[in-house]
Amino acid sequence: MSLKFKMLAALGFALSATLISACGPDGSASKQTPTAVTVAGQTMGTFYNITIPGDYPGGSAQLKQDAEAQFAQVIDAISTFDKQSEISRFNQRKNSEPMQVSTYLAHVIEEVNRQSLRIGGATEISIGPLVNLWGFGTDGRPNKVPTEQQIQAAHNYVGMDKYAVRYIGGVAFLEKRDPRVQLDLSTVGEGLGADLVANYLDSKHIGNYLVSIAGAIRTKGLNPSGKPWRVGIVNPVNPDGQPFAVVCPHQEAMSTAGSYRNYFVDKATGKRYSHIIDPQTGHPIDHHTVSVTVIGRNALVTDALDTGLMVLGADKALAWGDAQETPIYVIEMQDGKPVGRYNRYFEKYLKCDTQAAE
């Protein structure tokens, strides 16, 4: 989900979620914002926004420095645009020799794969060759839509069986089973950043905060008005306007994947191609689901799930959420209009009149 988005007034707009920190009952901005330390900036190709009611030791300058130190850990591990990151150095290798990696990166890969298996492999971090082939990676846009032969060639070295995490004497190693393997963890970058900042703030005993990096959100406590934090799911038809739905995460993580911002249109046919690629087919998704929101225990988990659930589509995503007792909210385009649906586990998060989940 590494996409750029606009900052609109004092509200932090994410890819598919927008912060509404001090709002009225209808989600509109209040006229006066109580005292809070708020910082905003850019990281991982997108924007972040952090709000802490009251004071923060060292003020906004220190908060910005602390947050960006956490983001640097993520970039050093998984950035495909930083040639010195662990994942970039791994991708550049042309052999199958194990490469020593940080325990942090190894654990991230294992967790993402664990969540992918829960949804039938719909999230796949070895999809890098297909991402590049379709023009959504570091190689830039293609001149034309890839041929089936090109897609199949790239698809031949995509899959969990093409790489492995191993431990030798407590040291983590990552190895390719095929030298052409390219890993891409960008789908969970924002979630990792949100988790690291939230964990850091917890270690500093900060009792109230909201961390937003693109579509990944972590909240704790109450907003500057002493109310539950309110987060909006963006309207895919008008991304910079009023939110489609207002959600109270109730101190849990929330992330949203959307297919309506990052795409290209084939000049020859006029067909639109989404950046979200189905690892089973090698093609971009081609259905009416444009947004999937997940709430869970941490942003790495929700970020690992939301893109895969986008691949599955609204009906399967909601059915999976019911079976796994996981809160899911989907938006589909029907007759040119966005229509939202959610499962029963999500319902309590649409009620913002209580300070904690029942």
For residues 245 and 329, is the Cβ–Cβ distance under 8 A?
yes
For residues 130 and 283, is the Cβ–Cβ distance under 8 A?
no
As a whole number of angstroms, the distance between CA 232 and CA 223 comes to: 14
Report in angstroms the alpha-carbon separations of 124 from 87, 252, 279. 15, 25, 6
303 is in an annotated binding site: yes
As a whole number of angstroms, the distance between CA 76 and CA 289 comes to: 33
Residues sharing a CB contact under 8 Å with residue 8, sequence separation 6 or more, in sequence order: 240
- Write out the two tokens for 349: 């998060």
Determine phi and psi for 174, rounding to 5 degrees: -120, 130
Give how far the C-alpha of residue 162 lies from the chain's centroid of Cα atoms, to the nearest Å.
24
For residues 177 and 164, is the Cβ–Cβ distance under 8 A?
yes
Residue 216 region, left (φ>0) first, then alpha (ψ -120 to 50), else beta? beta
For residues 253 and 218, is the Cβ–Cβ distance under 8 A?
yes
As a whole number of angstroms, the distance between CA 145 and CA 141 comes to: 10
Determine phi and psi for 237, rounding to 5 degrees: -80, -30
307 is in an annotated binding site: yes
Beta bridge mates, 258 = 291
Q: Which of 275, 261, 276, 282 is nearest to 311 (CA)?
A: 276
256 is in an annotated binding site: no
As a whole number of angstroms, the distance between CA 261 and CA 57 comes to: 37
Q: Which residues are annotated as a binding site for Mg(2+)?
A: 187, 303, 307
Q: Which residues are annotated as a binding site?
A: 187, 303, 307
